[in-house]
Amino acid sequence: MIKATLPVLLLALTSTFAKYIPKTGRRIPQTLSRGWGDQLIWAQTYEEALYWSRSRNKPLMVLFHLEDCPHSQAFKKVFSEDDKVQKMLDEDFIVLNLMYETTDKHLSPDGQYVPRILFVDPSMTVRADINGRYGNRLYAYEPTDMGLLFSNMEKAKKLLKSEL
């Protein structure tokens, strides 16, 4: 019941400050989290995320999703409400959620489906070895896979040795 009022509150809030008003009416400002964790600090682009990952020596989690995909939405609900996962992401990871594919083919080792999670080591190596439980979509996760995701995050935290 409380959640249903969030868009209304945000709308009321923006209407107070916005000067330009679209013909179709006032809009709710888009957030970078897109609902996947409002308390996390999300990178905007893959370039930005890689820069943060390298400079802070933290692994990067890239999450591909779509707003009109019911699997993405169902997964988002449990993902955003999982305290353990949110805490570890906040403290130990760089996070990026994307609705459009990048030009880097390494982020789609077995195709461009959603929802899909890839981990990237600070050495800029995509951890294709860290995958979920579905043979035909190795980087897909479902709402029941949060435990597996958490243990995969622990794997990603064990950084690859730099060869430099």
Which residue ranges make up the site for a copy of itself (CB under 8 A)? 2-3, 6, 9-10, 13-14, 16-22, 26-27, 29-33, 37-39, 41-42, 44-48, 51, 80-81, 83, 86-87, 90, 98-103
Q: How far apart are CA 144 and CA 82, in angstroms?
A: 12
Contacts of 17 (CB under 8 A, 6+ apart): none
What are residue 161's phi and psi, to 5 degrees?
Answer: -75, 135
**Which residue in 114, 134, 135, 127 sits closest to 153, CA to CA?**
127
In the bound complex, what is the minimum distance in angstroms from residue 20's beta carbon to a copy of itself? Answer: 4
Closer of 87 and 106 to a copy of itself (Cβ):
87
Closer of 97 and 131 to a copy of itself (Cβ):
97
Closer of 91 and 136 to a copy of itself (Cβ):
91
For 156, counting Cβ atoms within 10 Å of its Cβ (0-12 exposed, 13-18 middle, 19+ buried), the class is: buried
Q: How far apart are CA 144 and CA 153, in angstroms?
A: 16
Tokens linked to 160: 């690859």
Closer of 41 and 144 to a copy of itself (Cβ):
41
Closer of 17 and 135 to a copy of itself (Cβ):
17
In the bound complex, what is the minimum distance in angstroms from residue 135's beta carbon to a copy of itself? Answer: 29
In the bound complex, what is the minimum distance in angstroms from residue 129's beta carbon to a copy of itself? Answer: 26
In the bound complex, what is the minimum distance in angstroms from residue 117's beta carbon to a copy of itself? Answer: 18
